[in-house]
Amino acid sequence: MASFDLIVIGSGPGGYIGAIRGAQLGLNVAIVEKDPAGLGGTCLRRGCIPAKTWLESAHRFEQMHSLKEYGIAGVDVSALKADLATIVARKNKIVFKNGKGIEFLMKKNKITVLKGAGKLLGGGKVEVEGEIHEGKKIMLATGSVPKALPGLETDGVRVLNSDHILDIQEVPQHLVILGAGAIGVEFASVFARLGSKVTLVEFMDRILPIEDASVGEELAKLLTKLHKMDIRVKTKITSIERHDDKVVCHLEGEKGGIVEGTHLLVAVGRGPVTANVGLEATAAKVDRGFVEVDSMMRTTEPNLYAIGDIVKTPWLAHVASDEAIVAAEHAAMELGKDVHPHAINYDRVPSCTYCDPEVGCIGMTEQKAREAGKDVMVGSFPFMPLAKANIVGEPHGFIKIVADKQFGEILGIHILGPKATELISSSVALLGGEYTVEELIHTMYPHPTLNEAFPEAARAVYGRALNM
C-alpha cells in the first residue's frame, strides 16, 4: 500500500492544478486519471481547448472571404472550402502538445501519476486498478460528461453530442442544435461560418439564458443577420426520426413544426461524474449527483475535498482551478504547512462564450440585481462608433454596466462584441465595491482600442456618453 499526503482523483484543470499546488507546498502528491489518452480531463481532451481550435479555424475561414475588402487581391475565395480532416488533425496536435505539457509538470513537481479509475473506499483509502493507496487528504475532481435526453440518445453519426462533433469529418449540410447555452451557440457559430445551415433550438425564452437578457436578445439578432441562423426559442424537440442521411426533428412550442437536418447536436448541458467513484463508502453528502462542500471545498467526509463540475458552483475551468488551490492549501494547512487559504468569491467569476461575436460577463445581471433589491441603474455603449471596432471589421455588440444607484458601485459588466472574452478580464478588478461608475468615467484608456467603450458605458449610466 502506497501512502501519500494528498491523492487527487481526476486530472482536469482542477485536478492537476490542485496536485501542483499541493506539491509546491511540500506535500507528497499522487494524481489519478482513467482516460487512456492521458492527463488533462474534459477541458483539454473534449471541451474548452479543442472547441476553441474549431472556433479559430472558423474565424480564419470567415476572414478569408473578406480579403478583397482589406486590399488583398489575387485569391479566388469562391474556391475556398473547409478541410475538416485538417482542422481535426490540428486540434489533436494542440491537445497532444498540451497533454505533454501537463505530464512534464507532474514530473517537475514530483507528482506520482496513477493510471486507471480511482474509487473511494472510505477511511482515506483509494483503489486504482486493484491496488489500494492511502491518502491523508483526498481531492475528488472527476468532472462532468454531456447530458443525454431520453429519445434523443446520441449515436456519433447523425445524432451527436459535444464530444462527437469535435471529430466530425464533413461539414453538415444542415446542423440542428438543441440547446443554446455556451456550447450550443459556440458550435452554431463554428459551423455557420464553415458553410452549414444552422437551426438553433432553445426551450428557454432566449439564447444564453443565464446571461443578461440584453446579451442573449442582441446575440440572437446578430446570429440571424450575420450567419442566417434559424433561431427558435421557447421551443423543444419532442421526438426525432433517424435516417441514413438525415434526422427529422419534431418541434413543439413558439416555433414548432418539423425540421429535417443532416445532423443533430444535443447540447443541453453536462452532468457531474459522481457515480461509481465510491462516494457511498464515505460520509459525503450528495444531492442529485452534486457533492456538498463548504467554503474550503471540504465534504462531510473527513479529509475528503470535492471541486469543479461535481459541486454546485459555476462550471468553468478557471473556477475548478481556483477551487483546487483552495482545497490543496487547506489540506496543506491541516498537515502543518504555513499557508492561509482564502474562500472564493463566486460573485466575481468571469464567464466567457466564444461564439461570433463573443460574450464576456461578470457580476450581477440587471434582473438579478433588481431581484436582490438593488436600486439599479444601467448604461450601455455600442462598439459601432469606436474606430478600433471598425478597423478590425467587427462593429457589433455593446458593453453594459449594471450599477447601484446609491453609491455608484459597479455590480455587473456584460460584453457582447469583438474580443469580449479578453475585455472581460480587465473588468474583474472593477467589481466588489472598490471601483465606482464615476471612477470608471475618469479612467483613461488608450486610443484606438476596444477598451474605450468602458468609460463610455460608464458615462451612459448617467446619460452623458461622449461618442453618441
CB-based contacts of 413, cutoff 8 Å, min separation 6:
361, 362, 363, 399, 400, 401, 402, 424, 427, 430, 431
DSSP characters over 114-161: EES-EEEEETTEEEETTEEEEEEEEEE---EEE---TT----SSSEE-
| Residue 43 · residue 324 · CB < 8 Å | no
Residue among 271, 14, 282, 22 at smallest CA distance from 126 = 282
Tell me the three state secondary structure of residue 76: coil
Cell of 225: 443577420
Catalytic hit among 65, 243, 342, 447? 447
- The continuous run of DSSP H or E covering 19 comes out as helix 15-24
174 is catalytic: no
The Cβ of residue 151 has, within 10 Å, a number of other Cβ atoms equal to 9
Residues 6+ apart with CB under 8 A from 242: 155, 158, 159
Torsion 253-257-261-263 (CA) sign: positive
Omega before 209 cis (within 30°)?
no
Q: Which residues are catalytic?
A: 447
